[in-house]
Amino acid sequence: MPTGIHLRDVRAQLFDAAERVLLREGPSGLTSRAVTTEADCAKGVLHRHFEDFDAFLAALVLDRIHRLEARADDLRAGAGTGDVVETVAEVLTEVFSSVAVSIVALITFRDELRHRLRAARPGPGIPLATDAANVLADYLAAERNLGRLAPDADVQTLAPTLIGAGHLLFADRTGEPPSEEAVRQMAATVLAGALR
């Protein structure tokens, strides 16, 4: 049986393949066979590197969370520059125009995956969505500390509100993504009472 292409970075190539399948077919189409077919490798490759398919999915979600956390450093460093609404709109677009909408659906769809993610990252909320809210809350807190948001701005409420509204804007995978203006308008509306 052919094993397909040689995989240099097996994890990364399998993760990228899983994202393509998720974006194209949604959570119900994501199987180990679909992933390995997309990665052009034998099914055994996935199982040599991961205990089972849910372990693979948990590793995928955790990898995407780590990428998001790396973006948080850039956001904090950029606080005080640019337009707050534009920055928030860009972050929401980055988060939700990627595979995040499908990953959130996948997490709610698979009980074992949720259980594994809770063991790896205890706490409330849906992994990835909660992490994105934390990234936004940190950024908004930095802007508040610089006086660009009102001193009493409740960033712990604003951030998940932005994530929830952003998720709703991007949730329809079958239609066109929302326009930049629609995302910006939503961010401006949510932040209106907090902006200085």
pLDDT in tens, 43-79: 889 989 999 999 999 999 999 888 888 888 899 999 9
Instruction: Assign residue 70 the CATH number of its domain.
Output: 1.10.357
> 25 with 66, same domain?
no
67 and 27 together in one domain:
no
Predicted model pTM: 0.84
Residue 101 lies in a domain: yes
Report yes or no on 56 lying in a domain: no
Domain that holds residue 183: 62-191
Predicted pLDDT at 92 = 94
For the chain, what is the domain count? 2
95 and 168 housed in the same domain: yes
What CATH number does the domain containing 38 carry?
1.10.10
User: Within this chain, do residues 44 and 75 fall inside the same structural domain, yes or no?
Assistant: no
Looking at residue 156, what is its pLDDT? 97
pLDDT band, residue 7 (cuts 50/70/90): very low
Q: Are residues 137 and 74 in the same domain?
A: yes
Residues 70 and 158 in one domain: yes
The backbone torsions φ and ψ at residue 195, rounded to the nearest 5 degrees and listed phi first, read -70, 145
Decide if 125 is inside a domain. Answer: yes
